[in-house]
Every structure is written in C-alpha cells, then in structure tokens.
Copies of this chain bind each other. A is one copy, B any other.
Amino acid sequence: MTGVSPKTRIQKKNTRAILEAALEIFSKHGFRGSTVDQIADAAGLSKPNLLYYFPTKEAIHLELLAGLMDTWLAPLRQLDTDGDPVDEIIGYVLRKLTMAQELPRESRLFANEIVQGAPRIIDQIEGDLRDLVNEKCDVIQGWIKQGKLADVDPHHLIFSIWATTQQYADFDAQIRGILRPRNDAHFSDAARFLETFYRSALTVR
C-alpha cells in the first residue's frame, strides 16, 4: 500500500517523524540536495520503510509545503480592519519576526523553493496567497484613503515586511557571520529596529 493517510497509531507516529525529519533536511539542503537516505536516517527509519509511507521523495516535499502554507499565512490573516492601522501593521511585522525566529526551518523551506522559481507551489502562490494579499492590500488602501496611514504602495509594503522579517531566518548564516562575535540575541535588536522603523515610516504627520 502506497501513500497511506494516517490511521493507525504507528502510521501517525511514523508519518509525523518523517515530515519532521524531512523539514529538517529539506530546509537545510533544498530538494535536490536532500537524499531519501538522509531523511530516513533522521526519522529513524529504513529507506524502504519510509517509502512505505510516502511513495516518492517528491510526495514528502509536497505534503510538507501544502501542510505549512496555512501556518505561514496566519499572521497576515490576523490583520484587523478595525484596529489602529499603524499598530496593526507593526503587530503583523512582529508576528512575522517571531515566526522567523521560532520556525526558521519552515521559512527556509519556502525560501529554497521560491529562489528556484517556486516550481512546486506556484499554484498556491497565484491562488490562496494572492487572494489573501490582495484582500489585505484593499484594507491597507482603505486606511491610507482615510488618512490613517502614510501613502505607500500596499503590495510593496507587504513585500518589504516579508523581506525584512524572513531574512532573519533565511539569511541567518550571513547575519550571524557579520554580527559575530557580537551578541547572539539579535532578534530583540531586530524587533526594536523594525518597530521604530515601520512606525516612523507609516505614521501620518
């Protein structure tokens, strides 16, 4: 039987272990750079056993990406039309930064995929993601029209938020390399920087 959808106790345990291991490996080496053996090792299974649960390496990768997309979009979903505009945006920035800190592997998994042209998730990007972004851009545009937010292009504002927050996960090696041997707690510095930065850029005066 191939491509089992988790039912039994053992199936649940093992599919969970495989996805966890795959996240670890794929996020570190990219799709092509990861081997089924590596994933099987990390999951504590033999290769044939792993392939008993997922038919192919690609199936694991797809399941991972699909399963994480929701988590990934959650912070943007929370953006509240009725809140204070600047605070709402700052809140979004800080939520995204927290995600970069707490889920760096997920961030890198997406980064790896997108840098290489997003071949496997272009549909989700042009679907759910685009819809959500456009919806929230309308909200932001509304705030701007009400004079509650500086006049900036909403799409590029969102892009900038993704870039400035996710870099702390995706380009961690670079940032650590440059900051070394300075403090290791650069996330709180980043939070301070981003908050004052976005507040000062977005506040209407």
Contact = CB atoms under 8 A, between A and B. Distances in A.
A155 B173 CA distance: 15
Contact of A33 (B30, B153, B167): B30
B129 A178 contact: yes
Interface in A162-193: 162-164, 166-167, 170-171, 173-175, 177-180, 189-190, 192-193
Given A33-B30, A163-B164, A178-B133, A115 B152 contact: no
A153 B116 contact: no
Interface of A: 28-33, 108, 111-112, 114-118, 122, 125-126, 129-130, 133-134, 150, 152-153, 155-157, 159-160, 162-164, 166-167, 170-171, 173-175, 177-180, 189-190, 192-194, 196-198, 200-201, 205
